[in-house]
């Protein structure tokens, strides 16, 4: 069974049962104490997501994706977890350059996009049609956006993402599940973030021409390359890297090469 098919199988299994199977837990690598040391300020009064992104929800959601943080050797497993936490930290950051404990201690501060510029409805997408009056703005750790993401995420995880997108910012568990769903799911021509971080990304000819080399920078390209990649010294890319470097240090693992995407063509 190919790795992508295996991931789909476990997603289906998760949507039906999602048992708390200890064998699939990453709690052995991410204790509550470590989680709290990473997200020093996510429960501060200043953060709108105070008490939302709980350690328990993160661990429970991760059990639905048994390949996450459980693929490859120990260093690869730690690096993937650090990369995931870094990306969701940037997406939800409440930090600023002179913030207490530094800008990279303020991940998971927001649970939904502030002042969205649109309702993120792609009306040309007929497979996942928008529901009248609903906004598909960024919500949850990965800031899930657009109807073409809410629809398939809901289908995979067992909720109606088109009619009830608000559940992503109302349920801590579902919020983390959507972030991990996005991380683990291939959306061609994009590979999954997971496959990139565990060394199972195989670039096509188009990827090679576009300089889409494996590394943390490619994950940024997958998540928001259209706005951030192919731009020299983009501040948002630098913020993602800053989080990753901090978390990699906490996990005592190297970051690997190709941290930025400034010379990569977006998908």
Report pLDDT digits (tens) over 32-86: 999 999 999 999 999 999 999 999 999 999 999 999 999 999 999 999 999 999 9
Q: Is residue 27 part of a domain?
A: yes
**Percent of the chain at pLDDT above 70?**
91
Residue 74 domain boundaries: 3-110+172-250
Q: With contact defined as beta carbons under 8 Å apart, do 69 and 195 qualify? A: no
Structure tokens at 204: 């096509």
Examine the pLDDT at 225 and tell me if it is beyond 60: yes
Domain count within the chain: 1
Q: Is residue 93 part of a domain?
A: yes
> Which CATH number fits the domain that encloses residue 199?
1.10.530.10
Q: Is residue 153 part of a domain?
A: no
Using CA of residue 67, residue 68, residue 70, residue 72, what is the dihedral sign? positive
* Range 111-130 average pLDDT: 96
What pLDDT is recorded for position 25? 74
Mean pLDDT value across the chain: 92
Q: Is residue 104 part of a domain?
A: yes
What pLDDT is recorded for position 1? 41
* List of residues 6+ apart from 175 with CB closer than 8 A: 52, 53, 57, 111, 139, 140, 141, 168, 169
Q: Is residue 136 part of a domain?
A: no
Examine the pLDDT at 18 and tell me if it is beyond 60: no
Q: Is residue 69 part of a domain?
A: yes
**Which of 33, 80, 91, 113 does the annotation list as catalytic?**
91
Characterize 156-176 residue by residue with b for buried, 16 or more Cβ atoms within 10 angstroms of its Cβ, and e for exposed: bbebebbeebebbbebbbbbb
Examine the pLDDT at 255 and tell me if it is beyond 80: yes
Q: What is the pLDDT of residues 140-155, one digit of tens each?
A: 999 999 999 999 999 9
Is 113 tagged catalytic? no
What pLDDT is recorded for position 105? 96
| φ and ψ at residue 144, rounded to 5 degrees | -55, 130
Q: Is residue 28 part of a domain?
A: yes
Q: Is residue 206 part of a domain?
A: yes
């Amino acid at each position: 069974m190919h790795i992508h098919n295996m991931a789909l199988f476990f997603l289906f299994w998760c949507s039906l049962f999602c048992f708390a199977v200890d064998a699939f837990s990453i709690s052995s690598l991410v204790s509550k104490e470590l989680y709290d040391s990473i997200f020093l300020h996510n429960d501060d009064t200043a953060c709108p997501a105070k008490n939302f992104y709980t350690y328990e929800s993160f661990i429970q959601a991760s059990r639905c994706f048994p390949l996450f943080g459980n693929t490859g050797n120990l260093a690869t497993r730690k690096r993937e977890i650090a990369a995931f936490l870094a990306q969701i930290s940037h997406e939800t950051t409440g930090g600023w350059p002179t913030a207490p404990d530094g800008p990279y201690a303020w991940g998971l501060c927001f649970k939904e996009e502030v002042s969205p510029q649109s309702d993120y409805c792609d009306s040309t997408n007929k497979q996942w049609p928008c529901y009248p009056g609903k906004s598909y703005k960024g919500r949850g750790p990965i800031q899930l956006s657009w109807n073409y993401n809410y629809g398939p995420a809901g289908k995979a995880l067992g909720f109606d993402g088109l009619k009830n997108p608000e559940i992503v910012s109302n349920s801590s568990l579902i919020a983390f599940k959507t972030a991990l769903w996005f991380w683990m799911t291939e959306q061609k021509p994009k590979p999954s973030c997971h496959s990139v971080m565990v060394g199972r990304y195989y670039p096509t000819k188009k990827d090679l021409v576009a300089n889409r080399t494996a590394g943390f920078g490619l994950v940024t390209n997958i998540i928001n390359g259209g706005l951030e990649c192919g731009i020299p010294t983009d501040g948002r890319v630098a913020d993602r890297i800053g989080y990753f470097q901090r978390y990699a240090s906490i996990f005592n693992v190297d970051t690997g090469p190709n941290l930025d995407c400034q010379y990569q063509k977006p998908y």
